[in-house]
């Protein structure tokens, strides 16, 4: 089952729910020393759980940009596919494109777009904060 981020009437495809969970597992496992949502509460505790209120968009954008910058310093082998089962590996194992040089460019949506940029663009382009529309994670 695929998931996407929806703001208003526009939905951007992300990929499988396992892939989506892997991104958040990687963020928490590598960047949040005090556990899930301790450093990035808007992204980890709101957006990941399915709904980010319009008044939380500004904080989420700041968090996403910090996550994006921070992940640049981690090698691809630091990916965490499932934080609850750290032994699990991505379906492709370590067979990744040579273009993937760090965790900042590791996560690519099923449509070939950078995941972090997709999330940022969905929140910025649709102007969720100004429009009063929440960002939602939807399954389809």
> pLDDT tens digits, residue range 13-36?
999 999 999 999 999 999 999 999
Task: Evaluate if residue 126 carries a pLDDT over 70.
Answer: no
What band does 128 get if pLDDT is binned at 50, 70 and 90?
low
> pLDDT tens digits, residue range 74-112?
999 999 999 999 899 999 988 999 999 999 999 999 999
What band does 132 get if pLDDT is binned at 50, 70 and 90?
confident
Global pTM reads: 0.93
The percentage of residues in the chain with a pLDDT greater than 90, rounded to a whole number, is 85
In the prediction, which pLDDT does 127 show?
Answer: 58
User: Nearest-CA neighbor of 123 among 62, 66, 63, 61?
Assistant: 61
CA dihedral sign of residues 79, 84, 13, 116: negative
Q: State both tokens at 37.
A: 């949502």
Which residues fall within 8 angstroms of residue 85, CB to CB, at 6 or more apart? none
């Amino acid at each position: 089952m695929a998931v996407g981020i929806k703001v208003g009437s526009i939905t951007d495809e992300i990929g499988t729910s396992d892939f989506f969970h892997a991104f958040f597992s990687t963020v928490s496992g590598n960047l949040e020393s005090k556990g899930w949502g301790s450093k990035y509460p808007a992204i980890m505790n709101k957006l990941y759980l399915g709904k980010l209120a319009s008044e939380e968009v500004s904080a989420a954008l700041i968090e996403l940009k910090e996550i994006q910058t921070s992940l640049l310093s981690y090698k691809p082998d630091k990916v965490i596919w499932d934080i609850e089962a750290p032994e699990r590996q991505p379906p492709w194992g370590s067979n990744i494109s040579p273009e993937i040089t760090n965790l900042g460019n590791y996560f690519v949506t099923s449509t070939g777009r950078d995941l972090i940029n997709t999330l940022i663009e969905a929140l910025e382009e649709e102007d969720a904060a100004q429009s009063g529309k929440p960002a939602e994670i939807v399954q389809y």
